[in-house]
């Protein structure tokens, strides 16, 4: 097995990957935080105006015609079969 040769180019490449990953993670965290900051007031408004009801077991009681689902992502696009 050949020895790994560390050069300035490979070091810069690794640094680029680390910086990119950190930036991407910060962007994802920021998006999640923004979503949560908006979600709370919206949910409070829906409860106060009786457009959304919460049952005794803290479960959503859908109003007629409301479809309730779950998601593992904040994305608006449809998840592919491989996700």
Whether 26 maps to a domain, the answer reads yes
Whether 82 maps to a domain, the answer reads no
Is pTM beyond 0.85 here? no
Radius of gyration of the chain (CA): 22
For 46, counting Cβ atoms within 10 Å of its Cβ (0-12 exposed, 13-18 middle, 19+ buried), the class is: middle
Higher pLDDT, 80 or 27: 27
Tens digit of pLDDT for each residue in 13-44? 888 899 999 999 999 888 888 888 888 898 88
Query: How many angstroms separate the CA atoms of 47 and 60, rounded?
Result: 10
What is the four-CA torsion angle of 28, 30, 32, 36, rounded to 10 degrees?
Answer: 180
Where in the sequence is the domain holding 30, given as residue range(s)?
9-61
Whether 19 maps to a domain, the answer reads yes
Residue 68, token pair as written in the block: 């309730």
Give the number of domains in the chain.
Answer: 1
Local confidence band at 74 (pLDDT 50, 70, 90 cut-offs)? low
Whether 83 maps to a domain, the answer reads no
Whether 77 maps to a domain, the answer reads no
Whether 37 maps to a domain, the answer reads yes
Q: What pLDDT was estimated at residue 83? A: 46
């Amino acid at each position: 097995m050949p020895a790994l040769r560390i050069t300035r180019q490979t070091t810069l490449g690794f640094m680029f990957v680390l910086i990119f990953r950190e930036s991407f993670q910060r962007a994802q965290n920021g998006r999640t935080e923004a979503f949560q900051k908006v979600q709370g007031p919206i949910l409070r408004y829906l409860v106060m105006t009786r457009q959304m009801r919460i049952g005794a077991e803290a479960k959503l009681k859908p109003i007629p015609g409301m479809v309730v689902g779950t998601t593992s992502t904040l994305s608006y696009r449809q998840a592919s079969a491989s996700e």
